[in-house]
A and B are shown apart, each in its own frame.
Chain A
Amino acid sequence: MLSLQHISKYYQVGGNKNFVINDISLDIDEGEFVSIMGPSGSGKSTLLNIIGMLDEPTDGFHYFVDQAVHQLKEKQRSALYKQYIGFVFQAYHLIDELTVYENIETPLIYQDVKGSERKAMVADMLDRFQIVGKKDLFPAQLSGGQQQLVGIARALIAKPKLLLADEPTGNLNSKQGEEIMELFRKLNKEDGVTIIQVTHSEKNAEYGTRIINLLDGRVESSRTL
């Protein structure tokens, strides 16, 4: 599904290159559930952002569904991204001014989905996550776990092939965290969504099919479960 070849990301500080990602090569197949682990500052999030096209590497080649991402223009990249990728954040990142319903609907708006169709898709999603009763609430009126559910619902609404999650349970208590992880596993198994998550928790990492450990911007180990 995606392939990173000799990807590096560094900042020029004085005369030195300060590497965040240092020559990482990585292939991920469709249907995988990858957990990226590592201590703070090891480049986990940056790597995830590069995969998600939110960030650009300084060097290297990036292929996604057989397209050379490093050669694409912003508009094409955005189109590719819209079609295939969903993002979940540790801090949920819902739009405070929009209701649950509207938050979930937003990606569809940017994909020019028709109004009636959007309605059906959002209703379906609300139903699936059992948050129909909360659809008119604003994010501030929800608990953390509920907000993250909305965040995931939003990420999934456009039926992405790849779900990227940056410490999705980081702000949640252990029970809420478990629920989210179960949900991920189900998505991966039943719907065939490829998932890449960044996590600090060994336990959460175990939900995946592969664990990649990063240290100082390099892949230290990779183990398939």
Chain B
Amino acid sequence: MLKNHFKIALRNLWRHRVFSFINITGLSVGITACFFIFMYVTFELSYDKFHTKADRIYRVVTDIKTPSETINTDVTSWAFAPNLKTDFPEIEAFTRVSGGSFLVRKGNVKFQEERTLFADSTFFKVFDFKLLKGNLKTALTAQASIVFTKTAAKKYFGDADPVGQTVLITGDAIPALVTGVMQDVPENSQIKADMIISMVTLTQRFNKGIEEQWGNYGATSYLLLKPGVSAKNLQSKFPAFMEKRNGERSRKSQMFATLLLEPLKDVYLHSKRGGQEVGSISNVYIFSIVAVFILVIACINFINLTTARSVERAKEVGIRKVVGALKGELASQFIGESVILCLIAFVVTIILSVLLLPLFNQLSGKIVSPGIFSNISNVLILFGISVSIGFLAGIYPAMVLSSFKPVMVLKGRFSTGTKGNLLRKSLVVAQFSISIALIIGTIIVYNQMDFMRNRDLGFSKDQMVVINTNSDAGKDAFQQSVKSIPGVKSVAMSSAVPGGGNSGAYSEIENKKGDLQIANLDLYFVDFDYLNQFKIKMVAGRPFSKDFMTTDTSQAMILNEEAVKLFGYSSPQQAIGRRFKQWGREGKIVGVMKDFHFRSLQEKIKPLSMRVELRALDLVSIKVDAKNLPATLAAIESKWKEVIPNRPFSYYFLDEFFDRQYRAEQRFGKLFFNFAILAIAISCLGLLGLASYSTYQRTREIGIRKVLGASTPGIVNMLSADFMKLVGISFLIATPVAWYFMHKWLQDFAYRIDIQWWVFAVSGILAMIVALGTISFQAIKAAIANPVKSLRSE
């Protein structure tokens, strides 16, 4: 019986090639999309779970309460973790990690290594990063020890054994001993590094005494708890610990830190505090929903096409029943057919997945999967998905088909009935609702992207080249030499540029009442040209100026409008001349600048202070002429090589650098866009099949109408109108749903668009046009057919 069923299934598929093609294409594309999303979601969920002790590892984060605000940071001071370990026996081990960017040299090979970490010697004990060479326990114990990843080691040492060799780190060319080679950090690790330097190098040498500074934040601390220890319990003892160890200092500085524990496994997706790499659980949800949607759409197609075609199969059902088939046997035959179809789709999916995986990895910005077959369980899951779709989608058509009464169908007194029609129509409505909702979502995502790219940020970022001198001694000389290049319009130096990180400083500023108010202020160190070059406007007072050289280099501060508001002033003027204390400097506020977006538009503009501190300016921003850009860049590079030969030359454009903050959103937008296209394409495939079927079914009606005098356009209208009604209903359903979700999505952005009514109109019209295009071909074909032919065939 199986062989017979198999044979008839294949012959059926072949006989109705177009339907089969539509069906298999729709299914494979749908399953492929789902499969990719599935891999993406499992990848996102897999972050940091490869550590065998992941369940016991916690990240210590800090809420710092100042008189004006509470800062939720993902870091601790260097003092916390060692003292916690001393006080609490529940802690098995701790490891602190802090990132840096270092110049690393080995002979002529030199790179500015951006992904360098300082880490405690326990790093390899707490985490499961595999050490390929070297001693796990001692690799990071001595000062100036460095562990390379395999890839990084290859860069410097080629195939030679790096262990025991020396590299020079930092501009001061400190020799560091290579004590190990570790496996490359897995893609799904939130902690990312190319090389690791022993923490004692920082705490004993570069920044001696940092472990006693309880208010100096910057280390990420991880605790490994002993088995069976409750993190919640432990955390509840932290306030007493902080009071005992740091209570007095806290009261003096008016900064109170609360320590909290975050499970390592939640850091990547769930923490709102950030980290080296941040995921988004809501994106995981959104994509999961999209995957389900696409799968549902594909299944609906399948069900729709199969049941619509049931009239053709009805005769076969009747005959089979007459020759003795039971309902169950027939049902299993049809379910079997649907499973066969899905297995074909499975094969196509495998091919598609292999072909599209590189593209998908690129689109998602990381190696979600190195290859489909690298994880065989993925393929098995895919197989499982395919077979279950075959079953699920096959059940309804099988029930319908196998319940036909042979007498009815064999006599030809047979209609699919209005009940089946209603079901098919509601399925089409469901498909198009999903599609329209996705279109609306896509447009809104793109609008928001566009809005962020084009919003006036309050500073100029065009044609601005930024070079990080990494505190090299030659930085001032370099800046001077660049000024003489013809294509260079102006040069400024600073400690930070918009879009990048900047310090936060413990500050005391005179508020409206005349008291010194404590606050954590974002801080930019700048030179005299900075405000002018970045076209940051002043709203009160004066900008920094060389005319006030002595005052401005040590006793002057400029605040932004947000800061002025924070200290209670109703107008910027009132803040001028007020006192400040910050990082050992005291002086007066000389000016107030207009707010500008120094962070991404996801964040509200925060209070910002600027001071001139000529020794702390690492970044050289060069405003260049758009003409002859390559020549200008080459000239800058040659100056660099002249003045700072020890360091590799690298630069970035400020506008690109700033937009980099939206990379995740852009990626999200692109993925979303692609899946929306997919959804609508699959829906249209289904519509195409259904339209061709329904016109086929109405051939006789069309013939009669034409004989009675209906015009071709009239018939096209009649055939299209039915489907257009369905699209209209879908639009009504999709609009509020899409509005609700997109409204929620937009809440993540501090500066966002209002959702415009035209977005919905455009989406609706777009869906209409696409649907109409799909249907009209069939409708026109049916309408221009000779009625005599269709009537004779009855």
Could you list which residues of chain A lie within 8 angstroms of chain B, going by C-beta atoms?
Answer: 45, 49, 52, 54-55, 74-75, 78, 81-82, 87, 89, 91, 93-98, 102, 105-107, 109-111, 154, 158
Report yes or no: B322 in contact with A54, Cβ–Cβ below 8 A.
yes
Q: List 28 A-B contacts (CB under 8 A).
A: A45-B411, A54-B322, A54-B406, A54-B407, A78-B324, A81-B324, A87-B322, A87-B323, A89-B410, A93-B318, A93-B410, A95-B8, A95-B315, A95-B320, A96-B315, A96-B316, A97-B12, A98-B7, A102-B4, A106-B4, A106-B319, A106-B320, A106-B323, A107-B324, A110-B1, A110-B326, A154-B323, A158-B324
Report yes or no: A110 in contact with B324, Cβ–Cβ below 8 A.
yes
CB contact between B329 and one of A91, A110, A158 (< 8 Å): that residue: A110
B residues in contact with A111, CB < 8 Å? 324
Q: Besides A78-B326, A87-B322, A87-B323, 6 other CB < 8 A contacts?
A: A89-B410, A91-B410, A93-B318, A95-B315, A96-B316, A110-B326
- A49 and B411 alpha carbons, distance in the complex (Å): 11
B residues in contact with A74, CB < 8 Å? 327
Answer whether residue B174 sits at the interface, using C-beta atoms and an 8 A cutoff.
Answer: no
Answer whether residue B11 sits at the interface, using C-beta atoms and an 8 A cutoff.
Answer: yes
Could you list which residues of chain B lie within 8 angstroms of chain A, going by C-beta atoms?
Answer: 1, 4, 7-8, 11-12, 15, 315-316, 318-327, 329, 405-407, 410-411
Most buried by B among A45, A87, A94: A87
Report yes or no: B324 in contact with A82, Cβ–Cβ below 8 A.
yes
A residues in contact with B12, CB < 8 Å? 97
A residues in contact with B321, CB < 8 Å? 54
- A158 and B322 alpha carbons, distance in the complex (Å): 13
- A74 and B321 alpha carbons, distance in the complex (Å): 12
Minimum CB–CB distance for B23 against chain A, Å: 17
B residues in contact with A82, CB < 8 Å? 324
A residues in contact with B329, CB < 8 Å? 110
B residues in contact with A94, CB < 8 Å? 319
Of chain A, the residue at the smallest CB distance from B411 is A45
Q: A49-B407, A89-B410 are in contact. Are A95 and B324 (CB under 8 A)?
A: no
A residues in contact with B318, CB < 8 Å? 93
Of chain A, the residue at the smallest CB distance from B10 is A97
Most buried by B among A106, A154, A158: A106
B residues in contact with A96, CB < 8 Å? 315-316
Of chain B, the residue at the smallest CB distance from A164 is B322
CB contact between A95 and one of B1, B319, B406 (< 8 Å): that residue: B319
Of chain B, the residue at the smallest CB distance from A55 is B407
Minimum CB–CB distance for B672 against chain A, Å: 43
Minimum CB–CB distance for B531 against chain A, Å: 81
CB contact between A93 and one of B1, B15, B322, B405 (< 8 Å): that residue: B322
A residues in contact with B319, CB < 8 Å? 93-95, 106
Q: A54-B406, A55-B407 are in contact. Are A97 and B15 (CB under 8 A)?
A: yes
Of chain A, the residue at the smallest CB distance from B406 is A54
Report yes or no: B7 in contact with A102, Cβ–Cβ below 8 A.
yes
Minimum CB–CB distance for B355 against chain A, Å: 33
B residues in contact with A95, CB < 8 Å? 8, 315-316, 319-320
A residues in contact with B327, CB < 8 Å? 74
Q: A78-B324, A78-B326, A93-B315 are in contact. Are A109 and B8 (CB under 8 A)?
A: no
- A202 and B324 alpha carbons, distance in the complex (Å): 31
Report yes or no: B323 in contact with A97, Cβ–Cβ below 8 A.
no
B residues in contact with A158, CB < 8 Å? 324
The list of the 6 closest CB pairs from A to B, nearest first, reads A82-B324, A110-B324, A107-B323, A97-B11, A54-B407, A93-B319
CB contact between B316 and one of A49, A89, A97, A102 (< 8 Å): that residue: A97
Report yes or no: A110 in contact with B322, Cβ–Cβ below 8 A.
no
A residues in contact with B15, CB < 8 Å? 97
Most buried by B among A55, A96, A98, A109: A109
Report yes or no: A75 in contact with B326, Cβ–Cβ below 8 A.
yes
- A93 and B320 alpha carbons, distance in the complex (Å): 10
- A213 and B407 alpha carbons, distance in the complex (Å): 22
- A102 and B329 alpha carbons, distance in the complex (Å): 17
A residues in contact with B411, CB < 8 Å? 45
B residues in contact with A54, CB < 8 Å? 321-322, 405-407
- A31 and B12 alpha carbons, distance in the complex (Å): 40
Minimum CB–CB distance for B404 against chain A, Å: 12
